[in-house]
Amino acid sequence: MYSLLFRTLFRRMDPEKAHHLAFAWIRLAARVPVLRTFLAAFLAPRRKELRVEALGRRMHGPFGLAAGFDKNAVAVDGLTMLGFDHVEIGTVTAHPQPGNPKKRLFRLVPDRALINRMGFNNEGSAAVAERLAAREAVFKATVGVNIGKTKIVPEEEAIGDYVTSTERLAEHADYLVVNVSSPNTPGLRNLQAVDHLRPLLTAVREAADRTVTGRRVPLLVKIAPDLADEDVDAVADLAVELGLDGIIATNTTIARDGLGLTSDPALVAETGGLSGAPVKDRSLQVLRRLYARVGDRVTLIGVGGVTTAEDAWRRILAGATLVQGYSAFVYEGPLWARTVHRGLAERLRASPYATLAEAVGAETRTAEDGAHPDHPEGPDRPEKRSTAA
């Protein structure tokens, strides 16, 4: 059904217009009580076995919507209704900004990929904070808040810009993400160098603690797949050193690897970050590398090219406690989260693990023992351990 809609309607539309149309439908459906109850029951059935505890919260499952889809926090309930276990809003900047000139979003349909150079179009952290404060939640949702640097603010003043957004938004965030990895804000990715990242993350941590006194807001950093391996290691070490709560791996890539020959070369040549299937392998590599370095000390969120339940399961085995996606939502449609959840539950059931928590990083542990992650004890698996979720 959705693939027909995609082929006949969305694919013929400008991608950004299609996004706004789909977004409007989601928001509308979430406003109609009978409809949203029906849709949530169908699209977001709660599966006990998929419950996870992460970042100090109990969540219905591990699968969330990555940043960039709901930049201004206008559709948290609608997206939760579609089955996402957490919704990361943003990127939000201290000053409102229009983003780059249109056209700035491109579909590489044969590659199941997108290229975007949106440039953090958003209403600014004051407006988004006001909206989150006024939000009357219909569904219990986990809301991550992703913050970035305002384009016109010079690099030397970046810390102040992030701190301003933190002061406004931290109290509304179930977790806070410092985004230093978007390719579409000039100079932003330089902040990934640990010499810049250490004072930035320290200042944001202090600002969050100053503003929110009743609880500790978990703080994460989101990194690019284009980092060299040594730089990935350096961020991992810094995260442990600073007691960071998590790392999100990864954002979009400026590379153009992994594309087939069928996407229009003019589209492939567009400037911006590539996401979707072509970024899958590198995102997984970065995740594995991080897990090998930080183990269970830092919560990892795997994102980049996740399309199927198998992709999500692989991220969990590679060390991700939570998994996110964005581009595949465009291609798979509203049943996507439901399909991923169902497949994850099947995989968990067929695995030797009683809970998803036990499966996190199992690939690394079993690789050390020389066994396969799906059959860590060999073909005659023992009874599952009965640890509660």
Ligand X SMILES: Cc1cc2nc3c(=O)[nH]c(=O)nc-3n(C[C@H](O)[C@H](O)[C@H](O)COP(=O)(O)O)c2cc1C
Q: How far apart are CA 292 and CA 186, in angstroms?
A: 31
Q: Is 252 annotated as a binding residue?
A: yes
Query: What part of residues 284-313 is at the interface with ligand X (CB under 6 A)?
Result: 303-306
Quote the least distance from Cβ 41 to ligand X, whole Å. Answer: 26
Q: Does residue 117 have a known ligand-binding role?
A: yes
Closest Cα partner for 126 from 85, 171, 93? 93
Cβ nearer to ligand X, comparing 105 with 357: 105
> Binding residue per annotation — 70?
yes
Characterise 265 by phi-psi region: left (phi > 0), alpha (psi -120 to 50), beta (else): alpha
Report how far residue 213's alpha carbon sits from residue 70's, in angstroms, rounded to the nearest whole number.
27
Segment 322 to 351, residues that bind ligand X, using CB under 6 A: 325-328
CA neighbor of 76 nearest in space, from 61, 93, 60, 64: 64
DSSP tally for the chain: helices H, then strands E: 15, 13
**Which CB atom, from 93 or from 366, has the smaller least distance to ligand X?**
93
Per CB under 6 A, the list member of 61, 68, 124, 319 interacting with ligand X is 68
Q: Taking CB under 6 A as the criterion, which residues in 200-239 touch ligand X? A: 222
Q: Which of residues 100-139 bind ligand X (CB under 6 A)?
A: 105, 114, 116, 118, 120
3-state secondary structure of 240: helix
- Residue 277 or 298: which CB sits closer to ligand X? 277
Provide the minimum distance between the beta carbon of 61 and ligand X in the complex, in angstroms, as a whole number: 17
146 binds ligand X (CB under 6 A): yes
> Residue 166 annotated as binding?
no
User: Could you tell me if 220 and 242 are in contact, meaning their C-beta atoms sit under 8 angstroms apart?
Assistant: no
Residues 241-260 that bind ligand X (CB under 6 A): 251-252
Beta bridge partners of 205: none
350 annotated binding-site participant:
no
Q: Is 48 helix (H, G, I), strand (E, B) or coil?
A: helix
Nearest distance, CB of residue 67 and ligand X, angstroms: 4
Q: Which of 275, 351, 355, 366 binds ligand X (CB under 6 A)?
A: 275
Q: Tell which one of 80, 91, 150, 164 touches ligand X (CB under 6 A).
A: 91
Phi-psi category of 338—alpha, beta or left, where left has phi over 0 and alpha has psi -120 to 50?
Answer: alpha
**Catalytic pick from 125, 165, 182, 263?**
182
Candidates 45-53, 61-69, 192-200, 231-239 — which segment interacts with ligand X by CB under 6 A? 61-69
- What burial letters (b/e) apply to 260-271, b meaning 16+ CB within 10 Å? eeebeeebbebe
Q: Report whether 69 belongs to an annotated binding site.
A: yes
Separation between Cα atoms, residue 10 and residue 329, nearest integer Å? 13
Residue 122 annotated in ligand binding:
no
Q: Is 386 a catalytic residue?
A: no
Q: Considering the complex, what minimum distance in angstroms separates the CB of residue 384 from ligand X?
A: 31
Helix 280-294 vs helix 229-242: angle between axes, to the nearest 10 degrees? 40
Is there a binding annotation on residue 83? no
For the segment 1-30, give every residue that binds ligand X (CB under 6 A): none
* Min CB(146)–ligand X separation in Å: 5
In the DSSP assignment, the letter for residue 381 is P
For residue 165, give the 3-state DSSP assignment: helix
Cβ nearer to ligand X, comparing 54 with 248: 248
Of 335, 384, 312, the closest CA to residue 355 belongs to 384
Extract the runs of DSSP E, i.e. beta strands, from the chain. Answer: 52-54, 57-59, 63-65, 86-92, 105-108, 113-116, 142-147, 175-179, 219-223, 246-249, 273-276, 299-303, 322-325
Annotated binding site for substrate: 71, 116-120, 179, 184, 251-252
Residues in touch with ligand X (CB under 6 A)? 66-68, 71, 90-91, 105, 114, 116, 118, 120, 146, 179, 182, 222, 251-252, 275-276, 279, 303-306, 325-328
Binding residues for FMN, as ranges, are 67-71, 91, 146, 179, 222, 250, 276, 305, 326-327
Cite the annotated binding site by residue number: 67-71, 91, 116-120, 146, 179, 184, 222, 250-252, 276, 305, 326-327
Which residues are catalytic, by number? 182
